Amino acid sequence: MSPAPRQVAGFQADPEFFRLEERTEFDPGPVLEVLRGQRLGVIFRNVIPDGAQKESVARFWSSPARRHREGEPSHYIGSYHWNKSTETYLVETGEVAAHVREVLDVPDSPWQSFRSGLSAELARHGAVLRIAEHQGAEACPALIRAWDKEGSFALEPHEDEAQCADPRQAGFEIQGVRDHEVCAVNMCVEHEEGGRLVIWNIRPDDESRRRLGIEHTGFSYPADTLTGFDELRIDVERGDVYVFNGAFVHAVDTSKGNRTNLSFLMGFIDDRTVVSWT
Ligand SMILES: [Fe+2]
């Protein structure tokens, strides 16, 4: 009997490309390479100062804007553009942005350090980093999430590119990222056990997305559609900051206790502009 055909097809990177660079100090150089599609990803180990981690975690759990959602992710503050209209996303952002800023604006803010470091690097290349906007309204600066879901994945396998083609968001500048690379930025401020980052060596094509009925969401890819592809499983500890190409299918595996991250998406939308959103 021949095996069932794979449900997912697309681009697979060379083995030399399919790895995460590890560093012990923040360096915007490899981040720019991720943005340019020259590198899969990079993880900076233990670069968030202890005090900033503790203060971010305290403000997250005590925030009146923290929401609980069954499934994944379990607790979060912020808004996300996934699977809705631009207008809905921006209205929701307007309601919560000040609470998000409250969690981000801690002394030695990792969000601020990352962005100022990357901005300086981009400036050397004549480019800027800014929050995405639409008709005078700004996207959310970050989404703060805590996963505590049991099961094989705390966050099911998905990719971040399909959601940038939602017709309800036509005209929103983030859709320009599809001509470049969509990059996921994560900053881990709380971690107990498990919750590894998993990345599969597959960038699904549109036909595969259509077949799975996830053309504009990229969520989710059943585990059996991914068997046979190489995968990375990366231990993530509190204090780590990591950036990777979100067009490759990725997930967070089983997590025990809280795993709390500050995150956003970013990408070039033209040669001189990197925008971020959530
Ligand atoms: Fe993602």
Distance 2 CA to ligand 1 centre (A): 33
pLDDT above 70: residue 5: no
The model's pLDDT over 225-256, given as tens digits with 9 standing for 90+, comes to: 999 999 999 999 999 999 999 999 999 998 88
Average pLDDT value for residue range 73-96: 95
Distance 126 CA to ligand 1 centre (A): 28
The model's pLDDT over 179-204, given as tens digits with 9 standing for 90+, comes to: 999 999 999 999 988 899 999 999 99
Distance 72 CA to ligand 1 centre (A): 12
Question: What residue spans define the domains of the chain?
Answer: 10-277
Q: pLDDT band for 73, please (50, 70, 90 cuts).
A: low
On whether the CB atoms of residues 148 and 257 are closer than 8 A, the answer is yes
CB atoms within 10 A of CB 145: 25
Residue type, 239: G
Looking at domain 10-277, its CATH architecture is Sandwich (2.60)
Q: pLDDT band for 127, please (50, 70, 90 cuts).
A: very high
User: Which residue bears the tokens 């959530």?
Assistant: 278
pTM: predicted TM-score of the whole model, two decimal places:
0.96
Q: Which residues contact 2 (CB under 8 A, 6 or more apart)?
A: none
Cis peptide before 73 (omega within 30 of 0): yes
Q: pLDDT band for 4, please (50, 70, 90 cuts).
A: low
The model's pLDDT over 204-224, given as tens digits with 9 standing for 90+, comes to: 999 999 999 999 999 999 999
pLDDT above 60: residue 29: yes
Q: In the chain, pLDDT over 90 holds for what percent of residues?
A: 88
pLDDT above 70: residue 6: no
The pLDDT assigned to 12 comes to: 98
The model's pLDDT over 136-178, given as tens digits with 9 standing for 90+, comes to: 999 999 999 998 777 788 889 999 999 999 999 999 999 999 9
pLDDT above 60: residue 2: no
* Residues, Cβ < 5 Å to ion ligand 1: 160
**178 burial level (CB within 10 Å; 0-12, 13-18, 19+):** middle
Average pLDDT value for residue range 9-17: 97
Distance 271 CA to ligand 1 centre (A): 24
Fill in the DSSP letter of residue 193: E
Q: Dig out the tokens for 276 from the structure.
A: 């971020």
Average pLDDT value for residue range 12-17: 98
Cα R_g (the chain), whole angstroms: 18
Distance 108 CA to ligand 1 centre (A): 26
For the chain, give the mean pLDDT.
95
The pLDDT assigned to 158 comes to: 97
The pLDDT assigned to 71 comes to: 60
Distance 176 CA to ligand 1 centre (A): 18
Distance 85 CA to ligand 1 centre (A): 19
Residue type, 111: W
